[in-house]
Amino acid sequence: MTSQDPHTRYALVVPSSSLKAASRVPAHVRQILRIDVYEVTDDDRVCRLTD
């Protein structure tokens, strides 16, 4: 995660069973680090975690 380009985003993709742990990182920290969190459900849907 070394890009200085403000348009660069990073993604963390987790199964539903790990979403609670991933969302413990405060939204403002994820925003500063430019990290988006995505959940993959048991029926293979992908949903972005909204803050």
Can you tell me the distance from the alpha carbon of 14 to that of 37, in angstroms, rounded to the nearest whole number? 8
Is a pLDDT exceeding 80 seen at residue 1?
no
> Max alpha carbon distance in the chain (Å)?
36
Residue 45: count of CB within 10 angstroms of its CB: 9
What are 3-29's pLDDT values in tens digits?
Answer: 889 899 999 999 999 999 999 999 999
Q: pTM for this one? A: 0.85
What span, in angstroms and rounded, lies between the C-alpha atoms of 2 and 43? 34
CA distance 17 to 3: 30
In which band, very low, low, confident or very high, does the pLDDT at 48 lie, cut at 50, 70 and 90? Answer: very high
